With several copies, the nearest count.
Chain A
Amino acid sequence: LPKPETPHGEIVILEERCKGCGFCTEYCPHHVLAVAMKYNAKGYHPPEILHAELCINCGFCRMICPEFAIYTYEPKTGEKP
């Protein structure tokens, strides 16, 4: 049996919505994200993508974001977990 391919996710960050809670960066199981140094217009530090290639499209960041400011999708299928 062929080993199922590890899924991959593209990350979209809607920076201006972010309130810098750090939930996504802290709990990304693959440590894909980091807190950016920069501020958004609201004065918060949004997340930034450290290791885009490691994202497995698990969607945890999307689910835990209180601001609806981040999500991922599978670039081929378009699936949003």
Chain B
Amino acid sequence: MSVLNELHKASLSPAAGQTSPEKHPMDDFLRMDRMPHIWCSTCGIGVSVNCFAKALEKLGLPLDQVVVVSGIGCTGRVAGYVKVDSFHTTHGRAIPFATGMKLANPKLKVVVFSGDGDIIAIGGNHFINAARRNIDITVICLNNFNYAMTGGQLASTTPEGSILSTSPFGSYEFPFNLPFLAESVGAVYVARWTSLHVYNQTNAMVEAMQKPGFSFVEIVAPCPTIFERQQKMGDGLDRLRWYCENSDIRNGASTKEADIRLRDRMVVGKFVDTSRPTYLDAMNAHYQERLGPKYKVYEG
């Protein structure tokens, strides 16, 4: 079995990747042996990973119980870099994978971290149904308005008029208003921030993870290599400046007004923060009521 021998050899050779001589306080949250990450300079993904690490630190949860699930995409690579149990699944299906995980072991804190294309284009059906069921997971959706990993195509979130490789003369589709959609299907926590809003973003992640039920955080983030370049909006730093000038923080704003247009001002904030029983709580309560003491409360 020569394959086996080869594999044994491989496992003896030292791990690839360099270990930085200096340490950053967040290094424990990261797979340092996989650094540097693949994200471009001035990309917003790294910022959100940083905020996420901070949010975990703030929450003070034992990291052993945190799970990150991603789909496929630039953002989908997040699962590969955070040093918790992390699953890089298939395109669009992070949410059902996370659902299985959470239901199988309710003690886990399950976070889906993925891109807008992944979560709401191909993954749309899972998004709406998981929210409806109020599965107790947090979905962090990094919205860079395009499919970056595949080179920059139209997404379900692309603002009208955007130039991308499959909308070479500008998009004429109407994008989703994600907070409105999330609210309509019953998400209990809905917030939107940009890459610039690092404190708010971090707080939203903390609140979302603390919230029992389906919580949703949309992060509007630059993809300088594709989206901003194609729109001639400069790089990620230019885009942060734009966010700074054009974001209206309006907590509690009606999600109906949260539409995003390519060059208009944009509402950010916490839009929904409500409560209803999670899927498992509803199930346990229901069975206890219907089946009485013979029902053993499901705990995983």
Listed in ascending order, the chain A residues whose CB lies under 8 Å from chain B are 12, 14, 16-17, 19-23, 26-27, 42, 44, 60, 62-69, 71, 73, 80
Please tell me which stretch of B20-28, B62-70, B160-168, B265-273 contacts chain A, meaning at least 4 of its Cβ atoms lie within 8 angstroms of it. Answer: B20-28
Contacts of B199 in A (CB 8 A): 60, 63
- Pick from B35, B39, B47, B202: contact of A23, CB under 8 Å: B47
CA distance A66 to B53 in the complex (A): 12
Query: When the two chains form their complex, are residues A63 and B42 in contact, meaning their CB atoms are under 8 A apart?
Result: no
Query: When the two chains form their complex, are residues A27 and B196 in contact, meaning their CB atoms are under 8 A apart?
Result: yes
Q: Confirm or deny: B284 has a beta carbon within 8 angstroms of a beta carbon on chain A.
A: no
Q: Confirm or deny: B155 has a beta carbon within 8 angstroms of a beta carbon on chain A.
A: no
Size category, B interface? 20 to 34
Query: When the two chains form their complex, are residues B36 and A17 in contact, meaning their CB atoms are under 8 A apart?
Result: yes
CA distance A59 to B216 in the complex (A): 25
Q: Confirm or deny: B92 has a beta carbon within 8 angstroms of a beta carbon on chain A.
A: no
Query: When the two chains form their complex, are residues A67 and B198 in contact, meaning their CB atoms are under 8 A apart?
Result: no
Query: When the two chains form their complex, are residues B240 and A69 in contact, meaning their CB atoms are under 8 A apart?
Result: no
Query: When the two chains form their complex, are residues B50 and A64 in contact, meaning their CB atoms are under 8 A apart?
Result: yes
Query: When the two chains form their complex, are residues B35 and A22 in contact, meaning their CB atoms are under 8 A apart?
Result: no
- Pick from A21, A44, A62, A80: contact of B236, CB under 8 Å: A21
As a 0/1 sequence over residues 41 to 62 of chain B, the CB contacts with chain A under 8 angstroms (1 = contact) are: 1111111011100100000000
Contacts of B41 in A (CB 8 A): 19-21, 44
CA distance A76 to B240 in the complex (A): 33
CA distance A49 to B22 in the complex (A): 18
- Pick from B22, B42, B49, B237: contact of A12, CB under 8 Å: B22
Contacts of A22 in B (CB 8 A): 42, 237
